[in-house]
Structure 1
């Protein structure tokens, strides 16, 4: 695979930055579970420890409540394997923007805390999933995580006889649990930041294809409301700095009018900055640019990139937690419900956005 670091402008991709620990939700206490269910703390303690008699139905109810309230249940998962099925797209992203790298870092850190072993399995298409059915029945397998897979993978994944969680993608039929960023609200936040600065003509720079990216387009439209007709969509041919640069350069050559760009990813925003500079336009004085991802490298662009930061490590950690929760209740009368977790994102203000300029020629 050709790395995106092949040109000087892609130092954005290669820059190394220290990553802070992700703070997880506060864990519940036995007293919280007892109050939630209206039973004694002694009963909860017996059910969780396995010491003393508790009716099977009540014990399952207590364990389900413990998971719901984020209580650290005793686990016998140490040494178990988790199969991580990684799509071709995720591996390309690993080289280009490192979003996948940060998700994997959160996942591997959580696996280490739980004493689990992660085995990688790279695939390019659904045709390569045939061997997973046998792997799913292995006695030492806790479950399978699917990272950034397309919809073609979902049907065979639904039929696997083990716990399955989707990472950075979701199941439109809600038959598989998933953990993703809230893509729609993240993009709405980005667009709203520009409208708050007075921008009325906004371009959405994207590489269409995946449903999660479509949700970012929907988020921009949500933020613009009745002004959606003023938005333009600029489509890059690939998730690279060069493709984004070419797409924005073409839009400028065609005199497509905008004063702000919402990029569907930070790597596309980096390409937009280069194209604007090459056209003699200043950022943010002439055009504002905001990304979505929150990659640490964005702080080193010129100007430093304003972005909507996604809790990338938390996506990995929560995915493994959800897999463990599912495995704990599998086979009981209270199976862990299929769930979709969407993690909130946050605005990181830097120097690439500012008050609306007067570059746009208003129609007569």
Structure 2
């Protein structure tokens, strides 16, 4: 920095201000100093700046589990949220560190100004443990009553209602729900299904706990068939579960949708690419990422004036896995 100051004919403090984008330095002088810095190969000492400002300029994206069943970190859902986060954090001068909740909790040093968490864990317990670190934090998921966690999420209950209404309107009467209701989001989706079923001649024939994976969806349907449960529709808590349900039904000689309608949740690529293509509840993952980024920045900068956004809307996307029953 001293060398750049000498070359530019200014003080070191002016160089520091110019390279941090301060408006206290004239635009033309800022550009001159930046050009000299680029030519000299200058790189800011981020560690030293963090010690001075007590800010790391980094947000930690903490994923509950890097791999859950057959859902890796490369899951399109996760990548879409990361994209939305980067669109918000990068212009604000924030870097993003991606890690798992286990690694984050095991680390001896938490080098972040704030936390964005994907996946609250069973009963939201993992999110509470992460929040106890005391950093500004926002989680993706379902808002819980009597909780101080700042949570942004889609309208899961409405998603369950839209799915159940569609299935019942197309003639289905015995709905099987697949998903682990210990997760707050899944519990809200089931409540939405119950809302609609309670006002119609239909019924929930079974609720089968299963993880967010194709393998678990297949196992859940096999168990229902082995137990002799009668059902003509499947409401799955994710598209992966729904795809696995289709696999098991076709394996057992049940036609989708002629014998059993199947619908998923999320509307990721597996829904459109499945055979038959899956009816699903669409969530706007890029928008979710942007809202998470905006929220954590607000909590870092002005927490006293932060107000969580409304629930994100969801949309029913109808495809070939649900049609009017014969």
Q: Report the 3-state secondary structure (helix = DSSP H, G, I; strand = E; otherwise coil) of the residue aligned with 1:181.
A: coil
For 1:353, the equivalent position in structure 2 comes to: 322
Instruction: Return the offset for 1:205.
Output: 1.5
CA distance in 2 between partners of 1:226 and 1:187 (Å): 14
- Cα deviation digits, residues 287-328 of structure 1 (max 9, x gap): 111111110221111111111111112111101111122233
Query: Which consecutive unaligned segments of at least 5 residues does structure 1 have?
Result: 1-48, 50-77, 358-364
Q: Report the 3-state secondary structure (helix = DSSP H, G, I; strand = E; otherwise coil) of the residue aligned with 1:114.
A: coil
For 1:299, the equivalent position in structure 2 comes to: 272
Matches within 5 A, 1:26-105: 80-88=57-65, 93-95=71-73, 97-105=75-83
Aligned mate of 1:233, from 206, 209, 217 = 206
Matches within 5 A, 1:175-214: 175-214=148-187
CA distance in 2 between partners of 1:113 and 1:228 (Å): 53
Instruction: Return the offset for 1:184.
Output: 1.1
Pairing 1:254–2:224 present:
no
For 1:122, the equivalent position in structure 2 comes to: 100
* Contact 2:141 2:184 (8 Å CA) reproduced: no
RMSD between aligned residues: 3.0
Residues 329 and 347 (structure 1), Cα distance of their counterparts in 2 relative to 1, 3 Å cut: same
* Contact 2:161 2:196 (8 Å CA) reproduced: yes
* Contact 2:177 2:207 (8 Å CA) reproduced: yes
Instruction: Return the offset for 1:146.
Output: 1.8
Highest CA radius of gyration, 1 or 2?
2
For 2:90, the equivalent position in structure 1 comes to: 112
For 1:32, the equivalent position in structure 2 comes to: none
Instruction: Return the offset for 1:340.
Output: 6.0
Instruction: Return the offset for 1:149.
Output: 2.6
Aligned mate of 1:143, from 105, 114, 139 = 114
* Contact 2:179 2:236 (8 Å CA) reproduced: yes
CA distance in 1 between partners of 2:126 and 2:207 (Å): 28
Residues 81 and 248 (structure 1), Cα distance of their counterparts in 2 relative to 1, 3 Å cut: same
TM-score (norm: length of structure 2): 0.74
CA distance in 1 between partners of 2:168 and 2:131 (Å): 41
* Contact 1:181 1:343 (8 Å CA) reproduced: yes
For 1:11, the equivalent position in structure 2 comes to: none
Instruction: Return the offset for 1:154.
Output: 4.0
Q: Report the 3-state secondary structure (helix = DSSP H, G, I; strand = E; otherwise coil) of the residue aligned with 1:149.
A: coil
CA distance in 1 between partners of 2:202 and 2:180 (Å): 20
Give the number of equivalent residue pairs. Answer: 272
Matches within 5 A, 1:334-353: 335-337=304-306, 339=308, 341-353=310-322
For 1:265, the equivalent position in structure 2 comes to: 238
Q: Report the 3-state secondary structure (helix = DSSP H, G, I; strand = E; otherwise coil) of the residue aligned with 1:166.
A: strand
Query: Which consecutive unaligned segments of at least 5 residues does structure 2 have?
Result: 1-22, 24-54
* Contact 1:94 1:101 (8 Å CA) reproduced: no
- Cα deviation digits, residues 63-110 of structure 1 (max 9, x gap): xxxxxxxxxxxxxxx982112222126666335854223222222232
Q: Report the 3-state secondary structure (helix = DSSP H, G, I; strand = E; otherwise coil) of the residue aligned with 1:231.
A: strand
Matches within 5 A, 1:272-283: 272-283=245-256
TM-score (norm: length of structure 1): 0.67
